[in-house]
A and B are shown apart, each in its own frame.
Chain A
Amino acid sequence: MEPIIQLGYDLLPILNDLPEWIAITAIALSAAIILLIFIAVFALFAIWLERKVSAHMQDRLGPMEVGGWHGWLQTIADALKLLGKEDIIPTNADKILFKFAPILVFAATVAVFAAIPWDSGLVPADLNIGLLYILAISSLIVIAIMMGGWASNNKWSLYGAMRGAAQMISYEIPIALSLIVVNMSTGAFNMSELVRQQEGTILDWMFLRFFPFGFIAFIIYFVASLAEVNRTPFDLPEAESELVGGFHTEYTGMRFAMFFLAEFANMFVVAAIAVTAFLGGWLPPFQFLDFIPGPLWFFGKALFLVFVQMWLRWTLPRLRVDQLMYTCWKVLTPFSFAVLMIVALWMII
């Protein structure tokens, strides 16, 4: 936080005249608003990208008309349409919980962005326990999904919510275990410190350390994170062919848009954690590429992982519920335990 506060004082000298706590609150609020704008713009961009990627993978063109160049205005038009839609709350829904669920899901998603390190010093809140903070706050999303699914008073929503909760708390275990490998190797929870420990060339990044075990941990994290954000092949909570729309079946208009935005923002969050923990964060792969600024490296790597998520979505079919649990408990969890033990032994020897 300190470098950002300092930056705020440098940009707006008038803040020096105000009491300190007002100045800090103002700087923190503007940082939060910038992040909020980033999330909204990124989600709009990611939705457009998803449609284009899916279209090209299926040998179609996707949106081409709105805005001229490859339909770049399409999602903005869609967002305006969603804003203008009627806000319907089912008569038998639990009104309080129904209204609160989208707020909670979006608040939790935005709160996660506070600990994401864009560059050395460019972290909204450089917490000692940044990685744990992100894992803890993202678990609120599960509760919001259950809240929305329950409050809709619709069996498809409830099924979707139950599946979502079961899937997310199961896949948190391989995620945590594969991230512990990183913590053991770097000795840090702090997100910036994690990146600083990987300084050097691409060979010093976590996913190439303890070869091939760092790479296996990275793959386990990536697969489990797909389940965490409900992406195919793990998109059972919102499987439209069997559950209508899953936990957000009954949501319309802006409330639906909140869930949708949060989902795309979460794709970026899990990619950002993967980049920080395994792919060297803001560091360039080789020293001579130093002239490209850190935030661009970070964003580029995260965007690449988001693209891989979309790529997988349009390549793989959806798993069945029993296969989903099989993958988690009988494949990912034992393998992540094995990797954890082997890396621990490697570090002792």
Chain B
Amino acid sequence: MDAYTIVFYVLAAMTVISAAIVAFTNKIIYAAFALLFTLFGFATLYIYLSADFIAVSQVLIYVGGILILILFGVMLTTKIYDVSVKSERNPILPALIAGIGTSIVIGFVIFRTPWNAVVDKEFTTIAPDIGNAIMGKFLLPFEVASILLLAALIGSVLLARSEENE
């Protein structure tokens, strides 16, 4: 085991443990803050794949943007500590079927995909390639996504603004 592998296992453990906290804690605020480490851990995995631009974008967008919005949402809810995680009726059978079904699909993907364990590539500047790809080959999906976001933005403004003649 060299340092590279040790650091990988430390980061992977950080990601998995924090993800477990997100899933199992019954304090929403802890779940929200643990999400920080999960998202950050994912960013470090991108670095192992020599995708530094993606890693930084992950931190910038998810940690710097979305997580802060989630925290705002959590802090504005009334019951934060000791939220009961169970709903009134727990339909066990459908939950089991859905859970097992999902794990089978995920397991299938895991074992059928030819994984590149380590991408031993020099860090090159990939930002121009990504920019060219977005503005060339993937222009249509990019524009569709931006129209979707614009619609969401206008919709949320419409919902949030107060009516003056109320």
B125 within 8 A of A: yes
**B4: nearest chain-A partner, CB-CB:** A21
Name the prevailing secondary structure of the A interface residues: helix
Contact A129 B56 (CB under 8 A): yes
**A134: nearest chain-B partner, CB-CB:** B56
Contact residues in A for B52 (Cβ distance below 8 Å)? 127-129
- Minimum CB–CB distance from A252 to chain B (whole Å) comes to 22
**What separation, in Å, do the CA atoms of A72 and B137 have in the docked complex?**
61
B22 within 8 A of A: no
A137 within 8 A of B: yes
Q: Which of A133-161 contact B (CB under 8 A)?
A: 133, 135-137, 139-140, 142-143, 146-147, 150, 158
A15 within 8 A of B: no
**What separation, in Å, do the CA atoms of A150 and B56 have in the docked complex?**
27
* Residue in contact with B71 in the complex, picked from A25, A127, A143, CB distance below 8 Å: A143
Contact residues in A for B4 (Cβ distance below 8 Å)? 21
Q: Which of B59-73 contact A (CB under 8 A)?
A: 59-60, 63-65, 67-68, 71-72
**What separation, in Å, do the CA atoms of A94 and B25 have in the docked complex?**
15
* Residue in contact with B60 in the complex, picked from A96, A132, A146, A158, CB distance below 8 Å: A132
**B60: nearest chain-A partner, CB-CB:** A136
* Residue in contact with B56 in the complex, picked from A25, A97, A132, CB distance below 8 Å: A132
Given A129-B52, A133-B56, A165-B71, A142:B64 Cβ within 8 A: yes
Name the prevailing secondary structure of the B interface residues: helix
**What separation, in Å, do the CA atoms of A222 and B156 have in the docked complex?**
31
Contact residues in B for A165 (Cβ distance below 8 Å)? 68, 71-72
Contact residues in B for A139 (Cβ distance below 8 Å)? 59-60, 63-65, 68
Contact A25 B3 (CB under 8 A): yes
B48 within 8 A of A: no
**What separation, in Å, do the CA atoms of A112 and B115 have in the docked complex?**
32
**What separation, in Å, do the CA atoms of A142 and B59 have in the docked complex?**
13
Can you identify 14 A-B contacts, CB atoms within 8 angstroms?
A: A21-B4, A25-B3, A94-B29, A128-B52, A128-B123, A129-B52, A129-B125, A136-B57, A139-B60, A139-B68, A142-B64, A143-B67, A143-B71, A189-B125
Q: Which B positions have Cβ atoms within 8 angstroms of A?
A: 2-4, 29-30, 33, 36, 52-53, 56-57, 59-60, 63-65, 67-68, 71-72, 75, 123-128
Leading 6 A-B pairs by shortest Cβ distance: A139-B64, A136-B59, A136-B60, A21-B3, A132-B56, A128-B125
